[in-house]
Amino acid sequence: MPYPFLHCLIPPQRQQYVLHPGDDFWDELNKQLVWMRKQGNHEAAKIVKGFKLVLAEDHEKYGKSADYQLPEDAVINTWQQNLDDSIIADGVAA
């Protein structure tokens, strides 16, 4: 699985869609992602742990594929880190 982080983005989206299915869905999702980054002190390993928790809750509620597991040593790669840094530098994320 080349990009495990892409799979971790689906559960927060589903979670927010259930809570905020209307026009403010994307705003609420962005707030949740900013909150997760702050809770993880902007440290990749802590943020990954937060995504793993949301993923586990999603699997518990909606089920999961028996052949998929997020690797234990999954950390943000350089490309993703550079992208995140550029987003923060542009003032998009708080």
**The length of the chain, given as a count of residues:** 94
Domain count, the chain: 1
Whether 79 is covered by a domain: the verdict is: yes
Whether 44 is covered by a domain: the verdict is yes
Per-residue tokens: 68: 């998929």
Q: Which domain holds residue 39?
A: 4-89
- Condensed to tens digits (0 to 9), the pLDDT of residues 56-79 reads 888 888 887 666 665 666 666 777
| pTM of the model as a whole | 0.58
Evaluate whether residue 35 is within a structural domain: yes
Residue 34 lies in a domain: yes
Q: What is the pLDDT of residues 82-93, one digit of tens each?
A: 766 666 665 544
Instruction: Examine residue 94 and state whether it is found in any structural domain, yes or no.
Output: no
Q: Model confidence over 8-28: pLDDT tens digits? A: 677 888 888 888 888 888 898
